[in-house]
Structure 1
């Protein structure tokens, strides 16, 4: 998958403003801040609670319900994607801009994220869905797995368990 250009790649706030204008969504300080946070965390999707904590550290305290409202509007306008993994908290990230279809891979351990769009994969998904009677609009595929770093850490030899010296048995 190719890497997606995000707010963090360019002019920061200017890109966030452009993204909001493109979807005819009013620019607010909160929406710009959310897009900037998600761009800075490009490979690590964030929960709304983590965004609230990050904003507090930046001196921009915001209530979680208010933040949920801003995220909801960004999701509804196609700028942000939000998905819940294995019953955990929902993760948010900036949506792929190139097409209506997007594909994401998320590490179940560290939450590292890669997103992109692949025309061949999208065509295969569309064929599969059509064969089974599911019409498609823009689809999003989320693959939950473990990244190479987490797999490597899990398979690395751990320190051996200590061997307990037992006292000699008495006859």
Structure 2
């Protein structure tokens, strides 16, 4: 019988918000034609502990990605998103600094080729683009009140709501 090692915080790089049991909330980010997809994801990640990009659908008109040769390559024209993934994490939710992370994209290139890489600059939507993300929140400490009971979970927007909530931030 195959047995997996026990999961604990030390097995997951990046800190406690990547641990099993972290609170997660899925969101759908709607990006209008002409908007920068990367900037919308970064804007959404502000004030959140971490955001994981799961997928995206739509057409991109221009994107700058890191190329294998070490420089950057800019692609212009209409390219369908084949895959969109990445993450952004904030070390301090009150800091003015940008979150750390990366966004990777694979696009359908001309004549059926696949192009892509790590997004280094703007990624402009040619049509409406939808991005599915999961916002991660640190686990709440398990505290007890004066009567020795665990407090009831709060009914804030981060804990309850639609399974997929529009992210118009």
More helix per residue: 1
Q: Which has the larger radius of gyration?
A: 1
| Fold similarity call, TM over 0.5 | no
Q: TM-score with structure 1 length normalisation? A: 0.22
Structure with greater contact order relative to length (CA < 8 Å, sep ≥ 6): 2
Q: TM-score with structure 2 length normalisation? A: 0.23
